[in-house]
Amino acid sequence: MSTSVSGYLVLAFDRDRTVDVNPPADRSAVPLSWIEHWANETDHEVWAIGNQRLKSEAGIPGVREAVMRLENEWYREFNETDDDEHVDGWPRRARRVEMLAELFPDADDYLVVDDKDLSYIEDWTHYYPWEFVDVVRSGDVDLEVTAD
């Protein structure tokens, strides 16, 4: 599915039916330990774009942090509350991903891992979680992993 991917990456992860804290019923999920490793032990940007519980589980930034850094159309909404669960008018999933490209325009590649098809987002490579696990293990995506 993929050509070789390497360099400075922006990695955007959904949580539910994507990461092993809430895996898909019958397919491989991305190990949380991999996400934590890439976030803490590499120079890649690693972000939560789905269920924001992944922020605390993996120690990564999410939608609120992207909005606050961009000061875009959702800034006031996020600035007025500290509660990620009660924000009206959240940006849609595709917009969340696009904001990361705005924040990191010099990345070599942009990868989004989600159980929903996001392949239509320009300049991003979408992987379903089970496909992502396969391409990482095969070396098609140049990311070192921890033992899972």
* For residues 82-95, average pLDDT: 67
Q: In 3D, which of 138, 54, 38 has the Cα closest to residue 64?
A: 54
Distance CA 90, CA 140 (A): 33
- Interacting residues of 84 by C-beta distance below 8 A, sequence separation 6+: 52, 55, 62, 63, 64
pTM (two decimals): 0.87
The whole-number pLDDT of residue 85 equals 56
Rounded Cα gap, residues 122 and 119, in angstroms: 8
Q: What is the reported pLDDT for 31?
A: 98
Rounded distance between C-alpha atoms, residue 48 and residue 97, angstroms: 9
The span from the first CA to the last CA of the chain, in angstroms, equals 23
Helix (H) or strand (E) holding 16, with range, is none
pLDDT digits (tens, 9 = 90+) for 43-78: 999 999 999 999 999 999 998 898 888 876 655 555
Asked whether residue 87 carries a pLDDT value surpassing 70, the answer given is no
| More confident call, 76 vs 13 | 13
Q: What is the pLDDT of residue 70?
A: 82
Distance CA 39, CA 1 (A): 25
The answer to whether residue 95 scores a pLDDT higher than 70 is yes
Q: Which domains does the chain possess?
A: 9-138 (3.40.50)
